[in-house]
Structure 1
Amino acid sequence: MDVIHWLFDAQLVIGSQVILWREVLGNLFGLASALGGMRRRAWAWPVGIAGNVLLFTVFMGAVFGTPHPVNLLGQAGRQVMFVAVSVYGWRRWRSAARDGADVGPVTPRWASWRQRAFLVVAMVGGTALLTPVFRALGSYEPVWSDAWIFVGSVLATYGMARGWTEFWLVWVAVDLVGVPLLLGAGYYASALMYVVYGAFTLAGFFVWWRVQRRTPPLASPEPGALVAT
């Protein structure tokens, strides 16, 4: 229990800024998960879940009494959604590995045009729907940014589980909005990690693209590949 209390309360003070070690560790877990995702390793999912749990307590600052007494509901809520989607992705990748895939648990591929349209509509429509909800719940302004990050994070994680190479580009869109929002809210460690993520996700896109070009195309569409459900 002493370790848990230390982890919950430990702070890093840089000048006049206070950064929770939970925020640093949660983002490091996230970076490790992204690295595992780039290499198409199934362990990326449980590592990411560990980071999600830590970051949830960070972004509910007003609830947990952290040095940042604001709630970023989109940031906190996406940690919960990450856990749910990550369980799905973990099971999917492990199942693919057991089925005898010799190129990793997932084979990168382009989403269909219909699936791409789904991503765009869900991104824009989901942001528009959640913005007034987050505002009513007291999320930090600009609330649309928080909603954009939440929706984009869920879609990117789902795209990773499905093996769509485009999911990296969704992450880029999330990072571009996330950096200024987190800086404005005082979450400097997370803002810095978003800058790192931005460069990392671009690299990940090209890594998956190269793997995809070396991999023979599937003879037929994957069962259930259309994500309308």
Structure 2
Amino acid sequence: MSALTWLLESQVQVAGSPVLVREIVGNVFGLASALLGLRRLVWAWPVGMIGNVLLFTVFLGGAFATPQAHDLYGQAGRQVFFFAVSVYGWWRWQSNRRASGGHAAAVAPRWATARERLTMLLVAAVGVAVAYPVLAALGSWGPLADAWILTGSLLATYGMARGWVEFWLVWIAVDAVGVPLLLRGGFYPSAAMYLIYGALCVWGFAAWWRTSRVGQPAVPFKTTYTEAVA
């Protein structure tokens, strides 16, 4: 059995239920991405993209062999959008590093402006309103919760790329909805990881908030702010 075959087909028993190894591995990559993002390291993006590919196959139970056999189209779809937004985030953070001569963190955290916050609220409302009927028509399991998880996740990922402190709060709101949905669907590793993400988001929010109070410029490009990063 090749390593790829093992990754795609192997299962383990968790609390008496079969769980895909690729769901566990995909979530580990997601957690690693969040930790790297907390430290504002560019590697957060490519690491997260690997997790996106793996989790995409997990949440399409009808297309890929999964023990749950549930189709969470919002969860699967957000992996595709995550991948696309991550390309933007990777490019933006790389540009920030190059502009600083490689001596600064990849992004300078700041609070979103009033206009940016209003835009986020409008996008959230429109996104859920559009995604809900689409996901329901596709037969997604838990379409309303799935619609918010999809929309909120995209907002949070974009906010991370822009360096907005608020993106951590959006993630917490996504986790609060995602944990009960995933538990009901039997996606136990993902539900457990959402709980860990929630705790990590509280930590990340506090860390980025403290950094934003140092007095960094609002626009991260061409910043001279330096920080020792591992």
**TM-score, normalised on structure 2?**
0.92
Query: Percent same amino acid at aligned positions?
Result: 55
User: What runs of 5+ residues in structure 1 fail to find an aligned partner?
Assistant: 224-229
Partner SS state of residue 77, structure 1: helix
* Partners of 1:15 and 1:54 in 2: CA distance: 22
Deviation at 1:78, TM superposition (A): 0.3
Partner residue in 2 for 1:226: none
Question: Which structure carries more relative contact order (alpha carbon 8 Å, separation 6+)?
Answer: 2
Farther-moved stretch of structure 1 (206-215 vs 39-48): 206-215
After TM superposition, give the deviation of residue 194 of structure 1 in Å.
Answer: 0.4
Amino acid at match of 1:66: T
> Match for residue 147 of structure 2?
147
Q: Distance in 2 between matches of 1:30 and 1:214?
A: 29
Shift of residue 222, structure 1, vs aligned partner: 6.9
| Residues 56 and 79, structure 2, Cα contact 8 Å, conserved in 1 | yes
Amino acid at match of 1:113: A
Unaligned 5+ runs, structure 2: 222-230
Distance 2:190 2:21 in 1: 11
In structure 1, the partner of 2:127 is: 126
| Residue number in structure 2 paired with 1:227 | none
Partner of 1:170: 170
Counterpart CA distance in 1 for 2:14 and 2:93 is: 40
Q: Which range is displaced more, 181-190 or 102-111?
A: 102-111
The SS at the match of 2:19 is: strand
Aligned-residue CA RMSD (Å): 1.4
Distance verdict in 2 for CA 1:208–1:132, change over 3 Å: same
Q: How far apart, CA to CA, are the structure 2 residues paired with 1:53 and 1:29?
A: 10
1:103 deviation in Å? 3.1
- Give the corresponding residue for 1:13: 13
Give the aligned length. 220
Letter of the 2:109 counterpart: P
- Deviation per residue, 1:80-134 (Å, 9 max, x gap): 0000000100010001100116431110011100100111111122111110100
2:216 and 2:158 map into 1 onto residues whose CA distance is 23
CA-CA distance at 1:14 after TM superposition: 2.6
2:199 is aligned with 1:199: yes
SS at match of 2:62: helix
- Partner SS, residue 64 of structure 1: coil
| Farther off after superposition, 188-197 or 115-124 | 115-124
C-alpha spacing 1:2/1:99, structure 2 compared with 1 (3 Å): same
What secondary structure is seen at the aligned counterpart in 2 of 1:12? Answer: strand
**Contact 1:128/1:144 (<8 A) preserved:** no
Once superposed, which parts of structure 1, at least 4 consecutive aligned residues long, lie more than 3 Å away? Answer: 215-218
Partner of 1:80: 80
Structure 1 residue 190, shift from structure 2 partner:
0.3
SS in 1 for 2:70: coil
CA contact 1:62–1:69 (8 Å) conserved in 2: yes
Give a deviation string over 1:15-36, Cα, whole Å, max 9, x none. Answer: 4211111000000000000000
CA distance in 1, matches of 2:175, 2:220: 30
Q: In the alignment, which residue of structure 2 is the partner of 1:137? A: 138
SS at match of 2:12: strand
Instruction: Give distance in 2, aligned partners of 1:4 and 1:165.
Output: 38
